Structure 1
Amino acid sequence: MIKIWIVGSSGQIGTAINEVLDPLEVEVFNTDKDELDITETDEVLNFGEINRPDVIINCAAVTDTDVCEREPELAFRVNALGARNLSIVARKVGAKMVQLSTDDVFDGLSKTPYSEFDDTNPKTVYGRSKRAGENYVKEFTHKHFIIRSNWVYGRGNNFVTKVLDAADEGRTLAVASDQFGSPTSAKDLARIILYLIPTNEYGTYHATCKGVCSRYEFAQEILRFSGREGSLKAVPTSESDLSSERPAYAVLDNFILRIIDVYEMPEWKRSLEEYMKEREED
């Protein structure tokens, strides 16, 4: 039985992985910041050496871009040094390492989708700290999967919940019409992670749902699939109520997945509809 250590297990992606995996095939170690502090090197080493996982999936991160701008030391401690510590353990126990990353490692100034071979040039503290985490993973372990995605939503607080909360409270929400990306379900991300883990196809991957939209279009579809009447206002990023510190063009090209033809991500509207149905059933 394969042993998987999910770090940041109570977040959107950690929760989704636990929902998707087969508990009869996998022994799971779930930890979050209350159980284990990934910024404490000795704590991480002790846990890894005692439990000796076959795979470490790092879902832990400070993802709030405004918090990262205000507290850069916290961002780099968790997003960079945390990834370093987990990579050191992975190498020590011979585990595969999965590092979740983001489109924020790019500058958002492109007019065409970013592939895995494009140079990173982050403009935000969040993006810089996540790139530093990627670099540590590459430096300390060769058996790694770095998976970049964007506009991820799942169980927890995210863009979807904020749009629905505003609708339920009767508030008009100002949403950026000049930010572009590919909304991606945490469950779809969990499925590609579990697909890659048994393979030796190491490296960096872009994994987003198919299709591109603006934040404003994304919000419109959220309301449509939820059956709610909400008031949305299309505005430039500078006037947006949400997602202020984000790249304007966050579109990732799943280039590697396409050229090695191993896995195909679903269309974003279909995934959003599936998620909204599950949410209503809960």
Structure 2
Amino acid sequence: MLKIWIAGSAGQMGQALNDTLDPLEMEVFNTDLQELDITRTDEVLNFATLNRPDVIINCAAVTDIQICEDEPEKAYRINALGARNLSIAARKVGAKMVQLSTDDVFDGQRGVAYTEFDEARPQTVYGKSKKAGEEYVKEFTEKHFIVRSNWVYGKGKNFVNKILELADERESLAVASDQFASPTSAKDLARLILFLIQTNEYGTYHATCKGVCNRYEFAKEILRLAGKDMKMESVPTRMSELSSSRPAFAALDNFILRIIDVYEMPSWQESLVEYMEERAE
């Protein structure tokens, strides 16, 4: 039975992994800040030595853009040093390491989707701290999977749930039409991760659902599937009520997945339908 340690298990990716994995095939160690602080090296090493996981999945992160800008030390401590500590632990016990990362490692300025071979040039503290986390993972463990995604939604705070919440409270909403990416279900991302960890296809992966849209188009589809009627205005990011300053064109090309031909992500529309149906149950 595969032994998996999910650090940051209370977040939307941690929950998605737990909802997706088969407990008959995998033994899971779930930790979040209350159980273990990944920024404390000795705590991390002791936990890994005691439990001897086969795989460590790092879902822990500070993802709020504004918090990262306001508290850069906190961002680097969790997003970079936390990843470093888990990587050191993975090497010590011979575990595979999964590091979740983001499109924010790119500047989003060139207008075409980024592949894994494009140069990372983060413009935000969040992006810079996540890139530093990636570098630590590469430095400290050979058996690693770095998985970058964007516009991830699942259980918890995210764009989809916020739109649905506001639809019950408001008559109108201004949504950005100048931010582009690929909405990605946390559950579909979890399925990919659980596939990868049973292979030796190590390296960096872009993993998003297929297709690209802007925030306004995404919001319209969310409301359509929910049967909600709310007036929406298409506006630039600076006039939007929901979108912080992010890379303008954050689409990722799942280039490696495509050329090794081992796994295909569904379209963002298919994934959203599945999520909305499950949410309505």
TM-score over 0.5 (shorter chain): yes
Task: Give the C-alpha shift of residue 243 in structure 1.
Answer: 2.4
Partner of 1:153: 153
Q: Secondary structure at the match of 2:119?
A: coil
- Counterpart AA for 2:221: E
Take 2:163 and 2:224, find their aligned partners in 1: how far apart are those partners? 11
- Is 1:16 aligned to 2:16, yes or no? yes
Take 2:232 and 2:166, find their aligned partners in 1: how far apart are those partners? 9
Unmatched runs of 5 consecutive residues or more in structure 1:
none
Q: Secondary structure at the match of 1:9?
A: coil
Whether the 8 Å CA contact 1:212–1:251 is kept in 2: the answer is yes
- Counterpart AA for 2:183: P
Task: Give the C-alpha shift of residue 165 in structure 1.
Answer: 1.1
For 1:267-282, what aligned pairs fall within 5 Å after superposition?
267-281=267-281
Partner of 1:219: 219
The one-character-per-residue Cα deviations of 1:80-127 (angstroms, maximum 9, x if unpaired) are 000000000000000000000000000010111100000000001100
- Counterpart AA for 1:233: E
Task: Give the C-alpha shift of residue 233 in structure 1.
Answer: 1.6
Partner of 1:132: 132
For 1:222-233, what aligned pairs fall within 5 Å after superposition?
222-233=222-233
The one-character-per-residue Cα deviations of 1:145-170 (angstroms, maximum 9, x if unpaired) are 00000000001110011111111002
Partner of 1:76: 76
- Counterpart AA for 2:250: A
Task: Give the C-alpha shift of residue 171 in structure 1.
Answer: 4.7
For 1:30-69, what aligned pairs fall within 5 Å after superposition?
30-69=30-69
Whether the 8 Å CA contact 1:167–1:231 is kept in 2: the answer is no
- Counterpart AA for 1:9: S
Q: Secondary structure at the match of 2:46?
A: helix
Task: Give the C-alpha shift of residue 66 in structure 1.
Answer: 1.1
- TM-score normalized by the length of structure 2: 0.99
Take 1:269 and 1:66, find their aligned partners in 2: how far apart are those partners? 29
Moved more, 73-82 or 169-178: 169-178
- TM-score normalized by the length of structure 1: 0.98
Q: Secondary structure at the match of 1:204?
A: strand
Task: Give the C-alpha shift of residue 235 in structure 1.
Answer: 0.9
- Counterpart AA for 2:213: C
- Counterpart AA for 2:132: A
Take 2:174 and 2:41, find their aligned partners in 1: how far apart are those partners? 42
Partner of 2:248: 248
Take 1:190 and 1:171, find their aligned partners in 2: how far apart are those partners? 35
Partner of 2:258: 258
Q: What is the percentage of aligned positions where both structures have the same residue?
A: 74
Q: Secondary structure at the match of 2:29?
A: strand
Structure 1's consecutive aligned runs of 4 or more residues displaced over 3 angstroms after TM superposition are none
Take 1:174 and 1:81, find their aligned partners in 2: how far apart are those partners? 37
Partner of 2:162: 162
Task: Give the C-alpha shift of residue 265 in structure 1.
Answer: 0.2
Take 2:121 and 2:243, find their aligned partners in 1: how far apart are those partners? 19
- Counterpart AA for 2:125: V
Partner of 2:86: 86
Q: How many residues align?
A: 281
Task: Give the C-alpha shift of residue 240 in structure 1.
Answer: 1.4
Task: Give the C-alpha shift of residue 238 in structure 1.
Answer: 1.1
Cα RMSD of the aligned pairs, angstroms, is 0.7
Q: Secondary structure at the match of 1:84?
A: helix
Take 2:32 and 2:220, find their aligned partners in 1: how far apart are those partners? 33
Partner of 1:123: 123
Partner of 1:113: 113
Whether the 8 Å CA contact 1:3–1:27 is kept in 2: the answer is yes
Task: Give the C-alpha shift of residue 231 in structure 1.
Answer: 2.5
Whether the 8 Å CA contact 1:66–1:245 is kept in 2: the answer is no
Q: Secondary structure at the match of 1:175?
A: strand
The one-character-per-residue Cα deviations of 1:203-247 (angstroms, maximum 9, x if unpaired) are 000000000000110000110111111222211111111221211
Take 2:190 and 2:152, find their aligned partners in 1: how far apart are those partners? 11
